[in-house]
Structure 1
Amino acid sequence: MHERQKLMAMLRKYDFVLYELQLYLDTHPNCPHALRKWQEVSALRQKTASAYIRQFGPIQPRQTDGNAPWGWIEGPWPWEKEAN
């Protein structure tokens, strides 16, 4: 697996864990263990997203500096095999 694919797979995993923890925290808002885990995974996701953006460009339009060319149109699209 190439570095781009590894980073994107890690981002998807972190997003899944964060979503599940969010759902859990919705019903258990006073659970310190879940909150710590959410903060931990959130920091890992941010670190991974920063690494991806540094190496391959923005993931979302709001992550660009506003200068063309638009990096997200040059890589594989999410539905293309190379992106997954």
Structure 2
Amino acid sequence: MIEDNKENYGEVNSEHTNYEDLLLEIQKFEFATVDLNLFLDTHPDNQRALNDYNMYTVELSKLKKEYRLKFGPLANFGSAPSMSPWQWVETPWPWEV
């Protein structure tokens, strides 16, 4: 799956400098992991899909961490500790972009 769809899902770039570009990458990987999750619900023995799901989940975690460190939290509670000052109000909210 990942080999067939790299152009659709993109690759992780640890040098994202643009807020919108990084948020778009996160959205792509979230879509892919949800899609694979649904597929695995009906095909639990599909090793290729499971491998892709695990790889996408790891990359999604990296992207979210990069976003959080560069631009602040993606959610206002429970996803990561906050730094001072309270960061949630410092940047545009993800749905405002």
Same fold? TM cut 0.5:
yes
Deviation at 1:9, TM superposition (A): 0.5
Higher helix share: 1
- In structure 1, the residue matched to 2:46 is 31
Select the residue among 70, 74, 86 that pairs with 1:70.
86
Bigger relative contact order (CA 8 A; separation at least 6): 1
How many residues of Structure 1 are paired with residues of Structure 2 in the alignment? 80
Runs (5+) with no aligned partner, structure 1: none
TM-score, with length taken from structure 2: 0.73
Instruction: Name the CA distance, whole Å, in 2 between partners of 1:29 and 1:20.
Output: 13
Instruction: Name the CA distance, whole Å, in 1 between partners of 2:72 and 2:95.
Output: 18
Deviation at 1:70, TM superposition (A): 2.1
Identity score, percent: 32
Runs (5+) with no aligned partner, structure 2: 1-16
Instruction: Name the CA distance, whole Å, in 2 between partners of 1:38 and 1:64.
Output: 23
> 1:78–1:50: structure 2 CA closer, same or farther, 3 Å change rule?
closer
Task: Note the aligned Cα RMSD (angstroms).
Answer: 1.7
